[in-house]
Amino acid sequence: MTAAGVRGEAEADRVFAALANATRRAVLRLLRDGGPQPVQALAAHFDMARPSLSEHLKVLRDAGLVSEQRSGRQRIYRLEAAPLAEVQDWLHPYERFWRDRLKGLGELLDRMPDDDAT
Amino acid sequence: MTAAGVRGEAEADRVFAALANATRRAVLRLLRDGGPQPVQALAAHFDMARPSLSEHLKVLRDAGLVSEQRSGRQRIYRLEAAPLAEVQDWLHPYERFWRDRLKGLGELLDRMPDDDAT
DNA sequence: AGAATAGGTAGGCGATTCCCTACGCGTCAA
DNA sequence: TTGACGCGTAGGGAATCGCCTACCTATTCT
- Domain locations in chain B as residue ranges: 9-111
Q: Which residue is nearest to nucleotide C10 (CA to C1')?
A: B51
**Residue A68, strand partner residues:** A77
The answer to whether the C-beta of A57 is closer than 7 A to strand C is: no
CB neighbourhood size of B62 (10 A): 14
Q: Give SS3 for B57.
A: helix
Has residue A105 got a pLDDT over 80?
A: no
Q: Does residue B92 sit at the A interface (CB-CB below 8 Å)?
A: no
pTM above 0.85, yes or no: yes
Query: What architecture does CATH give domain A9-111?
Result: Orthogonal Bundle (1.10)
Instruction: State phi, psi for A70 to the nearest 5 degrees.
Output: -80, 135
A15–chain B nearest CA distance, Å: 8
Q: Does residue A102 sit at the B interface (CB-CB below 8 Å)?
A: no
Q: What is the pLDDT of residues A48-100, one digit of tens each?
A: 999 999 999 999 999 999 999 999 999 999 999 999 999 999 999 999 998 86
Tell me the C-alpha distance between B19 and B13, whole Å. Answer: 10
Judge: A22–B28 Cβ closer than 8 Å, yes or no. Answer: no
Taking CA atoms, B8 is separated from A59, B5, B81, B83, B85, in Å, by 22, 9, 17, 12, 15
CA B73 from chain centre, in angstroms, equals: 27
Q: How many CB pairs under 8 A join A and B?
A: 106
Tell me the C-alpha distance between B21 and B29, whole Å. Answer: 12
Q: What is the pLDDT of residues B18-32, one digit of tens each?
A: 999 999 999 999 999
The answer to whether the C-beta of A102 is closer than 7 A to strand C is: no
The H or E element that residue B76 is part of is: strand B74-79
- Residue B98 confidence (pLDDT): 87
Looking across all nucleic acid strands, the nucleotide with the smallest C1' to CA distance from residue A74 is D6
Identify which of A13, A82, A94 has the shortest CB distance to residue B20.
Answer: A13
Tell me the C-alpha distance between A33 and A27, whole Å. Answer: 10
Q: For chain B, what percent of residues have pLDDT higher than 90?
A: 75
Residues 5-64 in B having a C-beta less than 7 A from any atom of strand D are 17, 20-21, 23, 47-49, 51-52, 55-56, 59
CB of B8 closer than 8 Å to CB of B86: no
Q: What is the pLDDT of residues B98-114, one digit of tens each?
A: 886 555 544 444 444 44
